[in-house]
Structure formats: C-alpha cells, structure tokens
Homo-oligomer: A and B are copies of this chain.
C-alpha cells in the first residue's frame, strides 16, 4: 500500500549522514546523467561533483546502479511531491482531473530532463531494482485513476469505471510525450497550447 523502497545497504551507520551524503550524490548524479547519460558518467565524476572521494561514494552504495536507483527514486519522489498538492482542492472529480492533468503536464515540462533519465536509463537497472521503479510509476498513475473514479462517483465524469486505469495510463503517457516528443511538439505548440488541447481532447472522452 505504502511506498516500498528498495533498501540500499551502506557501510556507514549514522542515518543522518547517509541521507545527507545520498542527497549530495543524487544531485550530482542527476546533473551528470542529464548531461551525458548514465553509461558515460563515471563513478569518479559523481563522487567529485558530490564533493567527496570515490572511496566515500562506495561507503554509501554498493554499485553504480545503486546510484541510478536512488536517482530514479528521487525523481519520482519530486514528481509526486509536486503533484499531490493539487489533489487537496475540494472540487468535483472533473475539475480535480483537469487541475491534475494541467499540473502533471507542467511538472513534465519543468522536470523534462529528469523524466528523460527514467525513460532512457531505467533499463540499465538490475531486473529486481527495476521493479521498484516501475511500481512507483504505477502508483503515480493510480493517482489519476483515483481522480477519475472520484469523478465517476460524483457524476462529474461519464465513463465506465473499468476504463479508468487505461485512461490514467493514457494521461500519464500524454504528459511524458511532451518530454520525449518535444523535438517535434515544441515546433508547433507552446506548453500552454499543448495543455489546453490535450485537456480538451481528454474531456471529449469523458462526457
């Protein structure tokens, strides 16, 4: 139910320190992965940019792939933290949906580089670890499923509840599309136009 995270073992005991060092390393890794991708980034570079030595890096992780996992998880974390507030609003499911979609797309625009990391590099995770990341992705998708169901219940959305999950995936993917088809879309639309048009198209499916 809650958010199961993979435990990455550390040689260091002090939990505070672990958190601090991992934040440093994630920040360093994100910018490096954005710049050159996971494979072309070296562990040395990550340690250097994080401000400590390669030896220290390996006190807090066990392999380079651990860093990738921490990065993916942090990105999902940020995505979720940015998305959740919009759901607090007390409105109809339909309005909630529109707000959430808009927010999602704005987040996608804002975090485009990070989103790309997940899309392009997650495959390099060991199969086990990958599951945790995909799980998290599914949970975020489930948020939209919930909003849709709320709308169906309060009558503001007209659709078969069985299709809520698919619809939720569609929404997520249309958001991500702004990131990984940006090379084509940005030639034609501003973010605002993109949001407006997609919301309008989605609404035409639930009336």
Q: Which residues of A contact B (CB under 8 A)?
A: 37, 39, 116, 119-120, 123-124, 134, 137-138, 141, 163, 165-167, 169-170, 173-174, 177, 180-181, 183-185, 188-189, 194, 197-198, 201, 204-205
**Copies held by the complex:** 4
A170 and B166 contact, Cβ closer than 8 Å, known pairs A124-B37, A134-B183: no
Q: Which residues from B are CB-within-8-Å of A119? A: 119-120, 180
Distance of A41 from chain B, by nearest CB (Å): 12
Q: Which residues from B are CB-within-8-Å of A137? A: 184
From A37, A163, A166, name the one whose CB has the most chain B CB atoms within 10 angstroms: A166
Q: Which residues from B are CB-within-8-Å of A170? A: 174, 177, 198, 201
Distance of A201 from chain B, by nearest CB (Å): 5
Separation of A124 and B194 alpha carbons in the complex (Å): 28
Separation of A74 and B205 alpha carbons in the complex (Å): 36
12 A–B pairs (Cβ distance < 8 Å), ordered by A: A116-B123, A119-B119, A134-B183, A141-B184, A166-B194, A169-B177, A169-B181, A170-B174, A170-B177, A173-B173, A204-B205, A205-B205
Distance of A105 from chain B, by nearest CB (Å): 13
A169 and B141 contact, Cβ closer than 8 Å, known pairs A37-B124, A163-B197, A205-B204: no
